């Protein structure tokens, strides 16, 4: 016998009924975006590698260690997207969307791939809901974006989450701040690896979780204390708008994101019931991304929420996010003639918008009733040989157990009226 094949390491299958919860979470995260005028975009799951090396940044772990990069049969270097923003901005440029009305508001949802060390909440294949607002640099837009992220979590009923917010400055103030930080880090007692990391991206050291490193960072210079006047005014205005929108946040001056493109407003959503992989979403403004990808020099802001992690958060809070699973009515039949009646009835019900199913294969009455129970249906229609000879089928309420005979010719209308299709 050949070996049983399994899903690759760091990936998993989502099966019914869990898949219903996945869809409910995904749809709840998307709904606020559609209500706010964001338009759906689909881009390929793989892009030319340069989209990510230039977009996400050569110094990030994502680009140096985590990408699934391969040459196709034509010798092109392609990469499975490790995130969705760079591809969306590539499409924004390619289709010259900046020549239309601004801001250009886009959303998408789909797979992302990172070769990370798998653990609870961290996978090699995961799903993001991603949104971007491009072409306008207005603090009110930053606040809209952040508030829409919060809305998705609230609509799911989540409460144990927190919005971490900071400003990462811009091209006028970040280089000076970076120098200050490099000088500060040079004086510390750091191992060689951390020193190397500090040379590539000193800001990343601020995010080091090890207590011996954190202990030395108490007096580290912070970007928020060294913002230019215009960047400070931008950040103040974002916070004012967030207050107006009823959004609360925690200042996170040491927040460092894993992608290089961020400027100004930067944020993360964390959930407190998830352990070490607590980030359920994150995003920020990116002044240079469009230009880095060969497009116009316009700003953008957006976020991505991890659907898989948000689902874990929903489970951690014990929330029931699925209104109705499975079908509304399940049709059980016995005998060849009853089968024809059943198949026809299910077809008509489905056409009328009622979620209906029936048994296939020879299961016997007991097996068929079990299938009806498992289906999640509130009602079953049982069509047996003897009943059929009398011209009736039984409509059974699976919750109360009550049952009544309905003439075969009236089954469709009666079922439809009962379950409300
Ligand atoms: P990110 O913070 O890298 O940002 O990812 C966003 C979210 O995706 C994370 O908060 C997390 O919930 C989920 N996620 C990331 N990696 C994994 C993983 N290995 N397994 C499971 N879930 C994961 C971005 O991707 C940016 N493109 C967000 C953005 C949009 N910034 C501006 N616009």
Task: Render pLDDT for 102-154 as a digit per residue (tens, 0 to 9).
Answer: 999 999 999 999 999 999 999 999 999 999 999 999 999 999 999 999 999 99
Instruction: Answer yes or no: do 93 and 237 share one domain.
Output: yes
Residue 194 domain-assigned (yes or no): no
Instruction: Answer yes or no: do 169 and 279 share one domain.
Output: yes
Per-residue pLDDT tens over the stretch 53-105: 999 988 888 999 999 999 999 999 999 999 999 999 999 999 999 999 999 99
Distance 28 CA to ligand 1 centre (A): 17
Instruction: Answer yes or no: do 54 and 138 share one domain.
Output: yes
Distance 239 CA to ligand 1 centre (A): 23
Residue 284 domain-assigned (yes or no): yes
Instruction: Answer yes or no: do 125 and 65 share one domain.
Output: yes
Q: Are 269 and 283 in contact (CB under 8 A)?
A: no
Q: Which of 333, 335, 359, 336 is nearest to 411 (CA)?
A: 333
Q: Give the pLDDT score at 142.
A: 98
Distance 147 CA to ligand 1 centre (A): 18
Give the closest residue (by CA) to ligand 1 atom 10: 281
Q: Which of 309, 311, 316 to mutate to test the pocket of ligand 1 (most atoms within 8 A of CB)?
A: 309
Beta strand spans in 289-334 (E): 300-306, 329-333
By three-state DSSP, how is residue 86 classified?
Answer: helix
Q: Which of 275, 272, 261 is nearest to 304 (CA)?
A: 261
Residue with tokens 């289709």: 95
Q: Which of 306, 308, 310 to mutate to test the pocket of ligand 1 (most atoms within 8 A of CB)?
A: 306
- Beta-carbon contacts of 189 under 8 Å, excluding residues fewer than 6 positions away, are 216
Interatomic CA distance for residues 305 and 152, integer angstroms: 10
Per-position DSSP letters for 119-182, written without gaps between them: BTTB-SEEEEEEEEEES---HHHHHHHHHHHHHHHHHTT--SEEEEEEE---TTTHHHHHHHHH
Interatomic CA distance for residues 166 and 258, integer angstroms: 15
Distance 166 CA to ligand 1 centre (A): 17
Report phi then psi at 382, rounded to 5. -110, 120
Residue with tokens 């959503």: 269
Does the pLDDT value for residue 420 go beyond 80?
A: no
Q: Which of 62, 83, 129, 274 to mutate to test the pocket of ligand 1 (most atoms within 8 A of CB)?
A: 83
Q: Give the pLDDT score at 196.
A: 87
Instruction: Answer yes or no: do 81 and 152 share one domain.
Output: yes
Q: How deeply is 13 buried, as exposed, middle or buried, from its count of CB atoms within 10 A (0-12, 13-18, 19+)?
A: exposed
Q: Which of 8, 57, 126 to mutate to test the pocket of ligand 1 (most atoms within 8 A of CB)?
A: 126
Where residue 266 falls among pLDDT bands split at 50, 70, 90? very high
Could you identify the atom of ligand 1 that is nearest to the CA of residue 303? 30
Instruction: Answer yes or no: do 333 and 303 share one domain.
Output: no
Where residue 2 falls among pLDDT bands split at 50, 70, 90? confident
Report phi then psi at 122, rounded to 5. -125, 115
Residue 25 domain-assigned (yes or no): yes
Domain count, the chain: 2
Q: Give the pLDDT score at 325.
A: 59
Interatomic CA distance for residues 222 and 154, integer angstroms: 31
Distance 128 CA to ligand 1 centre (A): 7
Where residue 323 falls among pLDDT bands split at 50, 70, 90? low
Give the closest residue (by CA) to ligand 1 atom 14: 306
Does the pLDDT value for residue 186 go beyond 70?
A: yes
Instruction: Answer yes or no: do 285 and 373 share one domain.
Output: no
Per-residue pLDDT tens over the stretch 35-56: 999 999 999 999 999 999 999 9
Q: Give the pLDDT score at 109.
A: 98
* Domain closes at, from 316, 343, 376: 316
Give the mean model confidence (pLDDT) for residues 150-171.
96
Residue 367: give its domain's CATH number: 3.40.50.800
Give the closest residue (by CA) to ligand 1 atom 31: 283
Could you identify the atom of ligand 1 that is nearest to the CA of residue 286? 32
Residue 187 domain-assigned (yes or no): no
Residues in the chain: 421
Distance 127 CA to ligand 1 centre (A): 9
Interatomic CA distance for residues 129 and 83, integer angstroms: 10
Does the pLDDT value for residue 238 go beyond 60?
A: yes
Does the pLDDT value for residue 324 go beyond 70?
A: no
Could you identify the atom of ligand 1 that is nearest to the CA of residue 62? 3
The percent of residues above 90 in pLDDT, for the chain, comes to: 86
The percent of residues above 70 in pLDDT, for the chain, comes to: 99
Instruction: Answer yes or no: do 253 and 400 share one domain.
Output: no
Distance 268 CA to ligand 1 centre (A): 9
Give the mean model confidence (pLDDT) for residues 306-320.
96
Distance 221 CA to ligand 1 centre (A): 27
Could you identify the atom of ligand 1 that is nearest to the CA of residue 116? 19
Where residue 421 falls among pLDDT bands split at 50, 70, 90? low
Residue 5 domain-assigned (yes or no): no
Pocket of ligand 1 (CB under 6 A): 83-85, 114, 116, 122-123, 126, 128, 130, 132, 258-259, 279-284, 302-304, 306, 308-309
Residue with tokens 């230039």: 54
By three-state DSSP, how is residue 342 classified?
Answer: helix
Distance 126 CA to ligand 1 centre (A): 9
Q: Are 299 and 140 in contact (CB under 8 A)?
A: no
Instruction: Answer yes or no: do 268 and 401 share one domain.
Output: no
Domain span at 412: 329-419
Give the closest residue (by CA) to ligand 1 atom 9: 281
Give the mean model confidence (pLDDT) for residues 289-295.
96
């Amino acid at each position: 016998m050949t070996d049983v094949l399994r899903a690759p390491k760091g990936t998993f299958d989502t099966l019914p009924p869990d898949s219903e919860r996945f869809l409910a979470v995904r749809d709840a995260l998307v709904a606020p975006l559609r209500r706010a005028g964001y338009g759906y975009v689909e881009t390929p799951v793989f892009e030319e590698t340069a989209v990510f090396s230039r977009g996400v940044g050569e110094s990030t772990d994502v680009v140096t260690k985590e990408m699934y990069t391969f040459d196709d049969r034509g010798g092109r270097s392609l990469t499975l997207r490790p995130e969705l923003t760079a591809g969306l901005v590539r499409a924004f440029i390619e289709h010259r969307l900046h020549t239309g009305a601004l801001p250009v508001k886009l959303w998408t949802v789909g797979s992302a791939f990172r070769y990370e060390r798998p653990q609870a909440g961290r996978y090699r294949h995961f799903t993001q809901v991603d949104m971007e607002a491009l072409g306008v640099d207005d603090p009110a837009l930053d606040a809209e974006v952040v508030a829409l992220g919060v809305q998705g979590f609230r609509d799911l009923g989540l409460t144990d989450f927190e919005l971490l917010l900071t400003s990462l400055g811009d091209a006028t103030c970040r280089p000076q701040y970076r120098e200050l930080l490099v000088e500060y880090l040079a004086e510390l007692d750091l191992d060689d690896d951390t020193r190397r990391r500090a040379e590539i991206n000193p800001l990343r050291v601020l995010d080091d979780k090890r207590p011996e490193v954190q202990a030395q960072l108490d007096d580290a210079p912070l970007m928020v204390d060294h913002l230019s006047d215009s960047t400070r005014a931008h950040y103040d205005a974002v916070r004012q708008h967030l207050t107006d929108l009823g959004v609360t946040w925690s200042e996170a001056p040491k927040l460092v994101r894993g992608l290089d493109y961020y400027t100004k407003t930067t944020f993360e959503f964390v959930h407190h019931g998830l352990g070490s992989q607590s980030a359920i979403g994150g995003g920020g403004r990116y002044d240079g991304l469009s230009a880095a990808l060969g497009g116009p020099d316009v700003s953008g802001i957006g976020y991505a929420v991890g659907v898989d992690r948000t689902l874990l958060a929903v489970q951690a809070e014990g929330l029931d996010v699925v209104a109705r699973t499975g079908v509304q009515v399940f049709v059980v039949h016995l005998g060849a003639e009853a089968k024809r009646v059943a198949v026809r009835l299910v077809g008509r019900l489905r056409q009328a918008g009622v979620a209906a199913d029936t048994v296939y294969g020879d299961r016997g009455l007991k097996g068929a009733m079990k299938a009806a129970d498992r289906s999640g249906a509130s009602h079953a229609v049982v069509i047996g040989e003897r009943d059929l000879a009398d011209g009736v089928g039984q409509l059974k309420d699976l919750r109360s157990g009550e049952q009544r005979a309905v003439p075969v010719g009236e089954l469709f209308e009666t079922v439809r009226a009962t379950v409300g299709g």
